Amino acid sequence: MADDDDLMTEEEQEAWYVERAERKLAHLNTLDQETKDTAMTCVRRVREALQHVSDPELDQSVVDLGFVSAVNVIGDTAAVDFRLPTFWCSANFAWIMAEDMRLALSALPWLRRADIPATTGEETFERAQRGEAIMSRIQVDPQQAFKELAEFNRKMLKGSELLQKTKGDDVQIATTPKREVFRQDKTVLYRYEPLTKRSVETPMLVVFGLVGRYTFIDLQEDRSLVRNLLGQGLDVYVVDWGTPTRGDRWLSLEDYIEGYLNECVEFICRSNNIDAITLLGICEGGTFCVAYSALKPERVRNLILTITPIDFHPDTEDAPLHVGLIHRWTRSMTPEDIDLLIEANGNLPGDLMSFLFSMMAPVNNLTKYNVGLFDVMDDEAKLMNFLRMEKWLADRPHHAGEAARQWLKDLYQANRLIKGEFELSGRRVDLKNVGMPVLNVYAQDDHIVPPKSAEALKDLVGTRDYTALPLPGGHIGVFVSGKSQGILGKGIADWLQKR
């Protein structure tokens, strides 16, 4: 043992600790700038990933809402200080958003662990006892709790009454007046009745894909791209591909693009005594329109694309897992797998595509009816909005078999369109032939057609009149969200009127 004389006095101990702290601080200050920059870059990457996580009720980014108060990155671990306002269902929402945040951060290849603590209930108390850094415990005001419970019961009663009296026929979509003007097999061409004096002479044909219905562009009166376009003085047609059955199993992309789509374009040109029209393509329908414009540029005066896949390999290592899920799913199969899928079913089942789309946002689909529906069930207008969207989502037609085989193998797997190798009826689809004015509209938070997929068009087409219009929102939100109603339709009309 050491002699008492060897022990430090309290003053000496304090001086020793101060000196040790100063040496440690000096060492930290000598860290090279590159290390500091790397740490800052990691924090920024984490915040960028969290920017795509939304509050399930407010549909706004958790970062923009101020729920992420701090982010720290040490090595391969990120610690997120996640704080919520203490409202009635905050525990429910906290769990939902924390899971979405973990999913978003799991896509960062260098990150091995994300510490996003639970925020409510017994787990909060236990973790606080262990000294972990988490948000403060929620304080419950008994009077406020009883008040909210009474409101909860009132809301449930009112919602139950509204749901009981609402019948299937009460939920109407695609109600803007239109008339059938042309039909070939199951394909029907409609022309919408004008709502105001025409301001653009060239008629427009709206082309949706085969994986859904065009009706979502006319979901309801106050959320209708069709009504917005008609209100701007445009002459609008739309093509309805019908519902494929096993008898349509051998319909190919050539049949749809060079056959049905071409016949619709020719009919509009004959009826209006013109040589060319404006095409507005949506999603897969946009890819149809690009191919058609490359093969028959003399029939297309203006080309407008919305949420349209061009580069079918846009998913990157740093993208969240749910972004570009269809691309990953398709490439996980062999070409023989796709052949077997089509041969077994005849067509690509609509139910399968619905399931695949739902897996892109699994938490949202799990909570849609016990959280989302509850939020609106006592408000008749909001409830009808909810039911109209559900009606459209439930109406998922099959995708004609041979066309689906080409779509998945030639485009999603082989990415032949941007490589200049995509062919229809033996003719190469050369995007340099797209020389007409092009407006490319894409959604900045689209997880089905990521922005990179749509943006690829710019460097591939031959036109000098190219305009990009990035809009906030997701794949469907660009068309049906309240904030998009005054942007998309007017933006398209203004662009056309200048040409």
Q: What is the CATH number of the domain that holds 111?
A: 3.30.300.130
Domain identity same for 185 and 124: no
Residue 238 binned pLDDT confidence (cut-offs 50, 70, 90):
very high
Indicate the residue among 98, 129, 160 that finishes a domain: 129
* Residue 50, CB-side half-sphere exposure with 13 Å CA sphere: 28
**CA-to-CA distance for 474 and 93, rounded, in angstroms?**
21
Do residue 229 and residue 321 come from a single domain?
Answer: yes
* Side-chain-facing half-sphere of 41: CA atoms under 13 Å: 8
* 334 plus 204 within the same structural domain: yes
Of the three residues 95, 129, 163, the one that is the final residue of a domain is 129
Q: Are residues 96 and 233 in the same domain?
A: no
**Is residue 225 within 8 Å of residue 493, measured between CB atoms?**
no
Q: Supply the CATH number for residue 317's domain.
A: 3.40.50.1820
For the chain, the 3-state helix, strand and coil shares in percent, each to the nearest 5, are: 50, 15, 35
Number of domains into which the chain is organized: 2
Q: What are the structure tokens assigned to 416, written together?
A: 């032949």
Report yes or no on 311 lying in a domain: yes
Please list the residues that pair with 77 across neighbouring strands.
74, 113
Q: What is the DSSP string of 163-188?
A: HHH--GGG-----S-EEEEEEETTEE
Looking at the domain assignment, is residue 305 inside a domain?
yes
When pLDDT is cut at 50, 70 and 90, the band that residue 334 belongs to is: very high
Please indicate, yes or no, whether residues 105 and 185 belong to a single structural domain of this protein: no
Task: Please check whether residues 107 and 249 belong to one and the same domain.
Answer: no
Q: Which of residues 303 and 82 earns the better pLDDT score?
A: 303
Cβ burial of 138 (10 Å; 0-12, 13-18, 19+) is middle
pTM above 0.75, yes or no: no
Q: Does residue 283 carry a catalytic annotation?
A: yes
Give me the percent of the chain exceeding a pLDDT of 70. Answer: 82
Locate 251 and state its tokens. Answer: 């319909």
What pLDDT does 414 receive? 95
Is residue 438's pLDDT more than 80?
A: yes
Q: Are residues 220 and 124 in the same domain?
A: no
**Which is the catalytic residue, given 42, 264, 283, 289?**
283
Q: Residues 369-427: pLDDT tens digits?
A: 767 787 888 888 888 888 888 888 888 999 999 999 999 999 999 999 999 999 999 99
Domain that holds residue 89: 11-129
Contact between 219 and 395 under an 8 Å Cβ cutoff? The reply is: no
- Give the least confident one: 46-55, 169-178, 212-221, 328-337: 46-55
Indicate whether 138 belongs to any domain: no
Assess whether 418 and 488 both reside in one domain: yes
